[in-house]
A and B are shown apart, each in its own frame.
Chain A
Amino acid sequence: MADPFATAARRPALAAHASGAARASLTPAGPATRLSLRAKPEAVPALSAALGLDLPTQPKRAARQGERHALWLGPDEWLVIDESEAPLLQALDGAGVLHSAVDISHRNAAILVSGAGAAAVLNSGCPLNLSPAVFPIGACARTVLSKAEIVLYRTGETDFRVECWRSFAPYVLAVLAEAAAEV
């Protein structure tokens, strides 16, 4: 047995193997740093500068800079994701404006849904209109997938990122997998 007092190893909510079918693949996303960022409008410029991207102020839009994404979830709320696991809390330390930043890197898990049938797979449990005209690349929304709350984010024409709370991830993956088998 390994030394129990050594640094503990991570065990993600979902095993890292891809599934799905020809028209839609399902891939658990790798670890990422995540923040729930809350602030008033006047703090947005300083926070944007600290994060190195323009926090979106338009509803249901995301901003992206490299591997860093900021998703508008509400008038004073963003989900910030850094896929390179860069420290986010520390980035905001010196922002010097009123805000709330809470680390939720481990609270969420994410599943990447890709392929020609990706929107149809999501629409098996998500009632949003996912047509490119209404939900274009860069669109995001806090919504539902069947009986779970998710944050849905379109990263490409046929690519979506589904964020959910950790314990819901197996359910969300199973619902998506069942839909992927039939679209």
Chain B
Amino acid sequence: MTGANRIAGAGRLTPAKTARFSFDGRSYTALAGDTVASALLANGVHLMGRSFKYHRPRGVVSAGPEEPNALINVSRDTARSQPNVRATVQEVFDGMKVGSQNRYPSLSFDLGGVNDALSPFFAAGFYYKTFMWPKQAWASIYEPRIREAAGLGVSPTEEDPDHYACRYAHCDVLVIGGGAAGLAAARAAALSGASVILADEQPELGGALHFDTGAEIDGQNGYAWAQKTARELVGMENVTLLSRTTAFGYYAQNFVAMAERVTDHISRPEANAPRERLWQVRAKRVIIATGSIERHMVFADNDRPGILLASAARTYLNHFGVAVGRKVGVYTAHDSAYEAAFDLKRAGVSIVAIIDSRMRPGEGLLEQARSLGIEVFTDHAVIATSGRLRVASMTVVPNGGSAKRKFTIDALITSSGWTPSVHMFSQSRGKVAYDAATGRFLPGHYVQDCVSVGTCNGTDDLQAILEEATAAGVKMAAESGHDGAAAATPAGRNLFAWTGGMAGAAYGAGPDDSVKAFVDFQNDVCAKDIRLAVREGMHSIEHIKRFTTNGMATDQGKLSNLHGLAIAAEALGRGIPEVGLTTFRAPYTPVTFGTLIGHARGDIFDPTRKTPMHAVEEANGAAFEDVGQWKRAWYYPRAGEDMHAAVNRECRTVRTSAGYFNASTLGKIEVVGPDAAAFLNLIYTNSWDTLKPGRCRYGIMLREDGFVYDDGVVGRIAEDRFHVTTTTGGAPRVMHHMEDYLQTEFPHLDVWLTSTTEQWAVIAVQGPKAREIVAPLVEGVDLSNEAFPHMSVAEAKVCGVPARLFRVSFTGELGYEINVPADYGAAVWEAVAKAAEPFGACPYGTETMHVLRAEKGYIIVGQDTDGTLTPDDAGLAWAVGKKKPDFVGIRGLKRPDLIREGRKQLVGLLTKDPNIVLEEGAQIVADPNQPKPMTMLGHVTSAYWSENAGRSIALAVVAGGRAKLGQTLYVPMPDRTIAVEVSDMVFIDKEGGRIHG
């Protein structure tokens, strides 16, 4: 038995297929195809949650994604646990664990329920007014406590072991929604030859045909027609049919985001199957067929478990074979609830009475009710209900009257009409228009290439829906270039033409402020709260929304927005269209972070770029640091060495013997063409005409504003070919900067740029023994000082492979940089290591590289400069061609502020105590005893322990720094003040002889 409320013979589920699941530790049996909600209802469980603010017991209200109350936690195991799942959407799978939320210690006895008794103090705006001061307490006390007490589920603490997929797709026609309208439209478009994607959020297609068993299409039951049509579509090559897929976001140019729940309903998913898949669809045309959502009646105590939407009761009965109660009351302002009552009655459920707030229900309904023996009270209202954990009675009065009648019930189904689901249309930036005749907002002005069909477009009659949808399918297909066979319009018939509907509070739901007539179940907003908001001066619907939080819960007010609007309009004495709707925003329903993230997690969160030598360095025990996306060898610790010891040893070794360094990440750009030198003249501050092939020059480039942008060594390979190097971090932006100027400012130049950063693996060999190490590996170049002096470049063979050999130095030592095609990098690195071994030379990492260059006062753009330093500020005025007529930044350099006295300049700093290493970023002042705030002269940009100098060294920017050489300044730190002497920037080999060694 799968529940006492399962009606034999009713519904579409197969009794033989069952699944076991637990709810709050208690075990239940469901049928395959059940949602958690239908399975619990089958077992007589209506109580599924506690409300957000008052902790009132709540039952399921709907049978679809609009569900505000039945939010549950679903888990497979401790890591696979998801809070805030709608019980009406989640399908049961064997072994699933379901937990209720927002209750302590248990769902039926919740201590937080005291909030309900205290509710007079929790009026709308309560939090804003009460927790005003002290200000600091908001973040530390109020907000955390409120969040704990009010709230939804709890986030899982373990890492999510599931994986998530993503897919981009294109189609001619995207159809959102697979009810009668969506199916007819998709079929028509597909038969015309268009490529079609049809997405529907339910497991089976059919939409409202799930419950509306009175609908008939082409002579068969509507639901059966839907399944037949779906099968037909699945069989068509040009159709992609996605069930369990919610279109949640509609963006510019018909770009629609959809979440497909791939395995959430499967007990033991395949290991490779993603849990969810994000679809990002670009459609030439979109057909919106999102249907309508039924609204509840707003009356006193309308939130007790057992009170639910009439269409939901009908879905549970007709699709799931579950009766929502045994003695069911009906309270309605719309005809559709009658059909729910008739279906229940025929299934053997007692319909206690139909309370209709209207005087005249639709044609034929009263007669039908009479023939089924159902008592109908027109022009009446339900003014109270009872029952703590389940509704037990309803109290009825004539509208405007006071003669009460009390009915014993165990369920109450309500309907105040249907709200066209214009969310997607509205997200597409379309403007809705108010249809006064039917009291609803419908698609008005379209902004994108889309069309709405069916009840979301205000079309009610089934035949009219099918005609409209078929025509739209044909039209959208034609507009996307397909006008093949036109589909015949299916013939559809409803049992009754539905009429009626109301928005706002029913009779008896106020205006006094003690009655709790809920408008928004999830955020506990009552009719009185909206009236209070108006009384307190909120006149804009956007203010009323935020003051009351109506429609701001995770269900986005699918049930509540129109009611809230109507109550506000009434209180304001204005018409509904004048007050206006709030904005519809994505996502339509909540989307998991996993779906949005897709595969961008773990190792493939972001590309990790490794040099060709990475594996070798790793085997040699290198420690790596992240430089942008690159992994760079930081230092090479030997047994027993910490970073400090390793770096000191590496620094010493380079200056006494030699070291080799992986410089592969250096940006490289090949500049080729007869105007290559002319182009570089414009990009760099110095002149390139005089540079001969085979020679190199250090260059700096500026932005238009005159500030240093990047630097590097440029080698002239041939008259028309330069090998440009950039900083590692600057490589992409320098390429873009150069390409930008070439295309927009200098298009007359015959020159082209190609990034060669990754073509070359680069090994720098630096130190007095560098020549002896490199020489045996090189063919075709005389490495003598005379033939190949400092700042030379040659094409050669290194280890038998074609290479570009540079004689350059970023250490101040004799140095070479070997460039070989990247695939050879590792082997050449090993050869260099072998050649270096007899000299006691060692590999060194980026930390040693930083120290060695600082010892020589070589700057690192981006560390010693910060985008506000001119070449002169950085001590590089010598690199600016004084006679050059033009280069990028030349005008910027003439700005008065850039040539004034007293600008910050790069200088060296020597701590009075040589053992103190300054902190990079520390501020520098002239007088440490001056009152705060002190006048800052500048800051430390680089600071290291220099093993070679036997003391600490630092570079800093200091206002008027070069004029302060020899002066004492101070670096105030939290625990002490450090005295420093301003020095020049060269700390080792001031004469600079070693580089020419």
Contacts and interface: CB of A to CB of B under 8 A. Distances in A.
Interface of A: 1, 4-13, 21, 31, 36, 38, 76, 98, 100-108, 120, 123-129, 131, 134, 146-148, 165-168, 170-171, 174-175, 178-179, 181-182
Contact of A107 (B169, B608, B759, B798): B759
Given A4-B834, A170-B608, 14 more contacts: A10-B823, A10-B827, A13-B823, A100-B752, A102-B759, A103-B759, A107-B822, A123-B167, A124-B167, A125-B599, A171-B604, A178-B165, A178-B599, A182-B277
A129 to B, nearest CB: 4
Given A1-B834, A127-B280, A105 B821 contact: yes
A67 to B, nearest CB: 19
Contacts of A1: 834
A125 B600 CA distance: 10
B96 to A, nearest CB: 22
B799 A8 contact: yes
A167 B759 contact: no
Interface string B789-832: 00000000011110000000000000000001111111110110
Interface residues of B, number: 62
Given A5-B777, A38-B752, A182 B273 contact: yes
B168 A106 contact: no
B609 A147 contact: no
A135 B438 CA distance: 48
Given A107-B756, A165-B758, A178 B608 contact: no
A31 B165 contact: no
Nearest to B631: A167
Given A4-B835, A129-B170, A131-B170, A179 B165 contact: yes
Interface of B: 163, 165-170, 195, 272-274, 277, 280, 282, 598-600, 603-604, 606-612, 629-630, 670, 672-674, 750-752, 754-760, 776-777, 798-801, 820-828, 830-831, 833-835
Contacts of A6: 799-800
Given A100-B672, A129-B170, A166-B822, A106 B758 contact: yes
B754 A104 contact: yes
A35 B345 CA distance: 79
A8 B606 contact: no
A174 B599 CA distance: 10
A147 to B, nearest CB: 6
Contact of B823 (A36, A106, A146, A178): A106
Given A8-B820, A10-B823, A125 B166 contact: yes
B486 to A, nearest CB: 22
Contacts of B825: 11
Interface of B is mostly: mixed
15 contacts: A5-B799, A8-B799, A13-B612, A104-B754, A107-B755, A123-B167, A124-B598, A124-B599, A127-B282, A148-B607, A166-B612, A174-B603, A175-B604, A182-B274, A182-B277
B754 A11 contact: no
- The interface residues of chain A, by DSSP majority, are classed as loop
B831 A8 contact: yes
B610 A167 contact: yes
Given A147-B607, A166-B822, A167-B611, A102 B754 contact: yes
Task: Give the one of A4, A123, A125 with max B CB within 10 A.
Answer: A4
B803 to A, nearest CB: 10
B214 to A, nearest CB: 41
A102 B777 contact: no
A170 B776 contact: no
A178 B752 contact: no
B269 to A, nearest CB: 11
Contacts of A126: 168
Enumerate the 3 nearest inter-chain pairs by beta-carbon distance, A residue then B residue, closest first: A7-B800, A8-B827, A167-B609
A168 B609 contact: yes
Given A129-B282, A147-B607, A166-B822, A107 B752 contact: no
Contacts of B752: 38, 76, 100
A89 B830 CA distance: 29
Contacts of A181: 272
Given A38-B752, A106-B758, A171-B604, A120 B827 contact: no
A170 B611 CA distance: 12
A106 B166 contact: no
B599 A146 contact: yes
B672 A123 contact: no
B604 A168 contact: no
B756 A104 contact: yes
Given A10-B823, A123-B167, A131-B170, A170 B754 contact: no
Contacts of A106: 758-760, 821-824
B672 A167 contact: no
A21 B799 CA distance: 40
Contacts of B607: 147-148, 167-168, 171
A112 B800 CA distance: 30
Contact of B612 (A11, A36, A100, A134): A11
A141 to B, nearest CB: 13
A36 B755 CA distance: 9
Contacts of B608: 170-171
Contacts of A102: 670, 672, 754, 756, 759
Contacts of A9: 824, 827
A10 B672 CA distance: 27
A148 B600 CA distance: 12
